[in-house]
Amino acid sequence: MKIAICGMSGFVGSALKAFFEKQGDEVIALSVRSDTSVENIAKKLNGSDVLINLAGANILGRWTQSYKSLLRQSRLETTKKLVDAIALCDAPPHTLLNASAVGVYDADHQHDEFSSHFSNDFLSQLVQDWESAAFRAQSELTRVCAMRFGVVYGRGGGAMAKMLPPFKMGLGGKMGDGFQMISWIHLEDLVRAAAFLIDHPQIQGVVNLTSPEPISNLEQTKAMGRILHRPAFFDLPEWVVKLAFGEGSSVMLESKEVYPRVLQEGGFVFHYPTFDSAMEEIAHAQG
């Protein structure tokens, strides 16, 4: 296959590139900037079997008005250009896998892909707008999957790169009261799930890319301390997280209990279904 990836230099993108190239697929990078024309994108995209769109500024940060604008622009404008480019292709990709996020869901319910309980906040609206932009590409020639990522854990980057150093120094601890649920996925399972979606054309629409076993922040903290053989009692009070991140603290403090119903009913098997299994692999690989 010929697979085009927008956002290939990031943590997830580089893992997808390595996976597909190991399978013998041709992988090309799509760079979409403000001055990149739709026509040039279409020329590069034409003839590709799959487009994977991962573009977007890091959601972890202090959400000033300017940063909120960047979060929206980096997702919505890039996705619009890609969708417009697909429409110009003589041989468009048969599959668009568009990144999305479990941040669309509220903190008060358990969710699968058929949940309509969305948050009433900036992140949820951003995700809904992002998915709407991507679903414009749905046609008889191209199917679209919105991959709602949980927190991605893996060695060498992502959220775990920020979490491991304080824990290894014995400075780890829970955030807030620790009762918030975290929906997460091991990087290897995320990559395998993306390949699974490509190979199963009957699946389209929203797909939760999360482990089947979400975990509370408190239980996660205990597991990391146990597996790393470190104390884990340097808790971060809610007010400290809010002071540091402002509105963006909701990413760390709000509960998201999300289940991958579509993947599991489709027959996908997770290599790392539990946080302990994922953490053991990451800790062993890191040394």
Residue 144: inside a domain: yes
Domain range enclosing 11: 2-217+245-286
Residue 230: inside a domain: no
The total of other beta-carbon atoms located within 10 Å of residue 20's CB is 22
Average pLDDT over residues 72-100: 97
Distance CA 122, CA 72 (A): 10
Residue 227: inside a domain: no
Q: How many domains does the chain have?
A: 1
Distance CA 140, CA 57 (A): 31
CATH assignment of the domain containing 61: 3.40.50.720
Report pTM.
0.95
Phi, psi of 131 (to 5 degrees): -65, -40
For position 284, what pLDDT does the model report?
83
Residue among 172, 158, 186, 183 nearest 225 (CA): 172
21 by DSSP, 3-state: which? helix
Residue 229: inside a domain: no
Residue 150: inside a domain: yes
3-state secondary structure 189-250: HHHHHHHHHHHCCCCCEEEEECCCCCEEHHHHHHHHHHHHCCCCCCCECHHHHHHHHHHHHH
Residue 225: inside a domain: no
pLDDT at 220 over 90: yes
The answer to whether the beta carbons of residues 275 and 221 sit under 8 Å apart is no
Residue 237: inside a domain: no
Give the tens place of pLDDT for each residue, 161-217.
888 888 888 889 999 999 999 999 999 999 999 999 999 999 999 999 999 999 999
